[in-house]
Amino acid sequence: YRELNLVENYMDNEQLQRLLTVLKTDKNRAVCNIVLFLLSTGARLNEALQAKWQFIDIDRCVWRIPATNSKSGKVRAVPLNETSLSVLSMQQDTEDGDTDEHDFVFINRQTGKPYTTIQKVWDRLRRKARLGHVRIHDLRHQYASMLVNSGRTLYEVQQILGHSTPKVTMRYSHLSTSTLQSASSCAADAIKEAMKKTG
């Protein structure tokens, strides 16, 4: 299991767009919302499926994951961005604004109970998006890669993902190297431009 967890699959922009199109249009809105929430927060599937409204502060844009649901065994605060807040808003709308009716954020409408798995539907969604290699856990890696490639530090990624040690987060260091290489290329571009002007 540990070896499988070290495998990382990343989507390029075209693949990500295909997935988002499927998530936006597929009839299974509940599971699509769960997948989009995972992609928007970097949460583990189990954390999302056990998410309760009482731990979500919409006003402060924070989702608190209790120690009992966290892999590290510690309370973790996940910042909620615009996309994840949109998913939560859609979940509230499906409950007619009454979140007191259910403790859990993601409820299976057929059973009236929280989801325990979404693997079967996820397999269908990823095939529909032509993403044969992408696992649910890869959505967490994708989130981390989006942060790192946007220039966020590995320390920030560690804090948001709730890694107990920096060593775990270091798996994304190759992404930051790529970002730094891209930044360094800006200097080369400036030098080449200046050389043109000197004749």
Q: What percent of the chain has pLDDT over 90?
A: 56
Predicted confidence band of residue 97 (pLDDT cuts 50, 70, 90) = very low
- Res. 117: pLDDT tops 70: yes
Predicted confidence band of residue 95 (pLDDT cuts 50, 70, 90) = low
In what order do the strands lie in the sheet containing 56-57? 56-57, 62-65, 76-79
- Tell me the two tokens of residue 70: 């966290």
Alpha-helical regions (H) of 42-164: 45-49, 82-94, 119-128, 138-149, 154-161
- Res. 4: pLDDT tops 70: no
Name the region of 8 (left: φ>0; alpha: ψ -120 to 50; beta: rest).
beta
pLDDT at site 171 = 84
Range in 54-68, 98-112, 127-141 with the lowest mean pLDDT: 98-112
- Res. 77: pLDDT tops 60: yes
Evaluate whether 142 touches 8 at the Cβ level (below 8 Å): no
Residue range 27-40, pLDDT digits in tens: 999 999 999 999 99
